[in-house]
Amino acid sequence: ISRKHSIISYREGKSVVADQDEVPFDPHHTYHFPLPLFALQVKHSEDLNQKRTAPLAYSRILVMLYLSFLCICSGSLIAYADSPSKGDGSSFTQIQKETQRKKVVSPRNYFAFTPLLPSVTCGTVDARSIVEPVRNIIKKRNGEIKFWEAECLKIDPANKKVFCRSNIDENLAGSNEFTLEYDHLVIAIGAQVNTFNTPGVMEHCHFLKEVEDAQRIRRTVIDCFEKAVLPELTEEERKINLHFVIVGGGPTGVEFAAELHDFVYEDLVKIYPSVKDLVSISVIQSGDHILNTFDERISTFAEKKFQRDGIEVLTGHRVLSVSDRMINMKTKSTGQNISIPHGMVVWSTGVGTRPVVKDFMEQISQGNRRILAVDEWLRVKGCEEVYALGDCATVDQKKIREDISAIFAAADKDNSGTLTIEEFKDVVEDIIIRYPQVELYLKNKNLFDVTDLLKDAEGNDREEVDIEGFKLALSHVDKQMKSLPATAQVAAQQGAYLARCFNTWEKCKSDPEGPRKFRSGGRHEFRPFQYRHLGQFAPLGGEQAAAELPGDWVSMGHSTQWLWYSVYASKQVSWRTRY
């Protein structure tokens, strides 16, 4: 990536270099000039003149193709079906146009590619290179989708209404609030920063959730350097101003720390040479290692690289409070409370539920939960015709032990009281589709066939098994169940899944494609959502990155950085932002 890309604009075919702060980002403006994102050119086999046959999806994704379908989202509409799905012509896009009423409500009229926000903070990538106006995306639907830039205040599931407030201006009646009715509702409102009720965090910390946050952080970093070079300051005061602290050693916190290090030591120290030896960067992590959701090899590599770069990593420390100049924290190993001064703090420690979602959860008897629960089809539990995806919801996967008796009865066709291998094979495919934890269990136990579950304690094949043996064989499967991470990758797959369901709704009503219903008989209309982990990246600065891909494949170093460039370029939602 060329850092000059952060300050290049195009005027009359000529490149003009300007200070980035002199070219403010305006989310209400549609940019027609192609601000570059990557120096690397990535080729795509996709024909630009050919319509897509699958939903374009990334980050917080949602799709609306139904009668009076309303969607509320934190970012924007970022996925939809460009063409009718293949089948018998019963796609929702073929319903009479006068019956299609698709509505989107979002407080921002642009989509932001959030995985690149850390790069925006330090100017590696320009903000305009990761945003795309919502109206540019939905214009392909020829007016079928209505969009309003407004905030959702309250959801009324009993009356199927959503109360909204415009962020721009009042209407002719002198009010900036309005109400929308819906038949079906999709909630993709995202999450807010989780402060864990730590005193002083909201007042004295920066967050990294929005484009505006990234720009604010960049301005603050430069302000800290400007303060440090003022006359009549002691060296200790200069050091305090130039001590940058990141709370949270997850992917976002680590990537920002790496970007900040590169920004400081490759750019700012050349502009402020008098204070180049006074800069310090610290990462505070409550766990034993940074990047603890990654492979241990990546975590170790990142810690060693940060040590070489001079980035201090404080693991096993929990922040107690934050003031305008001081962070108070507790060392877990000793129980000792310590305080360190700072010039700027960036808080990156997870996500929390937004107030509008909390209120909605209270109404549908989910008030005792931490996050909104949906079933395997992304339907909100306890609420009809409402769907949720992304960071605001979690899939409450059904446990196989709850249905073991029903599965056994469905498989035991001759009512003999025992299952043969052949009888079990007859329901295996439906079991794996309905209960994805079975497949995870097989992989973790290095079992090559689901029938291996029926082997006895010595590993010998059994010709048949009774109900108690069947329960014992599947008793440990549910231990593989884990909550899905709050990542763009999960939301992307959920959006693509939901898009396909809506596009094939009528077809699947008459010809169900889902697994059999073991309790009530028949089949589910759709296959349940199943997340496929495609890997994860961790940029570590200095043109180095780490990648963890399926199959226990781990890569670290300079070559991995180019892989990261390629993948993230391909995930952009428009050709303008890709190149």
| CATH label of the domain that carries residue 7 | 3.50.50
Q: Is the dihedral of CA 259, 260, 263, 264 positive or negative?
A: negative
**Residues 329 and 444 reside in one and the same domain:** no
What CATH number is given to the structural domain containing 245?
Answer: 3.50.50.100
**For all residues of the chain together, what is the average pLDDT?**
83
Inside any domain, residue 315:
yes
**Residues 104 and 235 reside in one and the same domain:** no
Inside any domain, residue 392:
no
Least confident residue range of 3-12, 347-356, 396-405, 489-498: 3-12
Look up residue 239 and give its two tokens: 């050091």
Inside any domain, residue 17:
yes
pLDDT at 53 over 80: no
Task: Output the pLDDT for position 526.
Answer: 96
Instruction: Give bridge partners of residue 553 from the DSSP assignment.
Output: 549
pLDDT tier at 149 (50, 70, 90 boundaries)?
very high
- CA distance between the termini of the chain: 11
* Distance from C-alpha of 302 to C-alpha of 254, rounded to nearest angstrom: 9
* Distance from C-alpha of 189 to C-alpha of 391, rounded to nearest angstrom: 8
**Residues 46 and 143 reside in one and the same domain:** yes
**Residues 24 and 167 reside in one and the same domain:** yes
Inside any domain, residue 326:
yes
pLDDT at 176 over 90: no
Inside any domain, residue 13:
yes
**Residues 173 and 27 reside in one and the same domain:** yes
pLDDT tier at 5 (50, 70, 90 boundaries)?
very low
**Tokens 């350097």 found at:** 225
Inside any domain, residue 100:
yes
Mean pLDDT of 370-374: 95
**Residues 174 and 207 reside in one and the same domain:** no
Last residue of a domain, one of 465, 480, 495: 480
* Distance from C-alpha of 195 to C-alpha of 106, rounded to nearest angstrom: 24
**Residues 185 and 208 reside in one and the same domain:** no
**Residues 53 and 179 reside in one and the same domain:** yes
Least confident residue range of 79-83, 198-202, 294-298, 447-451: 79-83
Mean pLDDT of 361-372: 93
Of 124 and 453, the structure prediction assigns the larger pLDDT to 124
547, 535 Cβ separation under 8 angstroms: yes
**Residues 156 and 279 reside in one and the same domain:** no
| Overall number of domains in the chain | 3
Last residue of a domain, one of 129, 163, 191: 191
* Distance from C-alpha of 154 to C-alpha of 55, rounded to nearest angstrom: 29
Last residue of a domain, one of 132, 158, 191: 191
Task: Output the pLDDT for position 235.
Answer: 97
**Residues 464 and 405 reside in one and the same domain:** yes
**Residues 137 and 172 reside in one and the same domain:** yes
Task: Output the pLDDT for position 83.
Answer: 36
Rounded to 10 degrees, what is the CA torsion of 151, 153, 159, 160? 30
Task: Output the pLDDT for position 20.
Answer: 39
Domain that holds residue 445: 400-480
Inside any domain, residue 572:
no
Mean pLDDT of 359-374: 94
* % of the chain with per-residue pLDDT over 70: 81
* Distance from C-alpha of 116 to C-alpha of 124, rounded to nearest angstrom: 9
**Residues 26 and 121 reside in one and the same domain:** yes
* % of the chain with per-residue pLDDT over 90: 64
What CATH number is given to the structural domain containing 415?
Answer: 1.10.238
Inside any domain, residue 490:
no
Task: Output the pLDDT for position 481.
Answer: 85
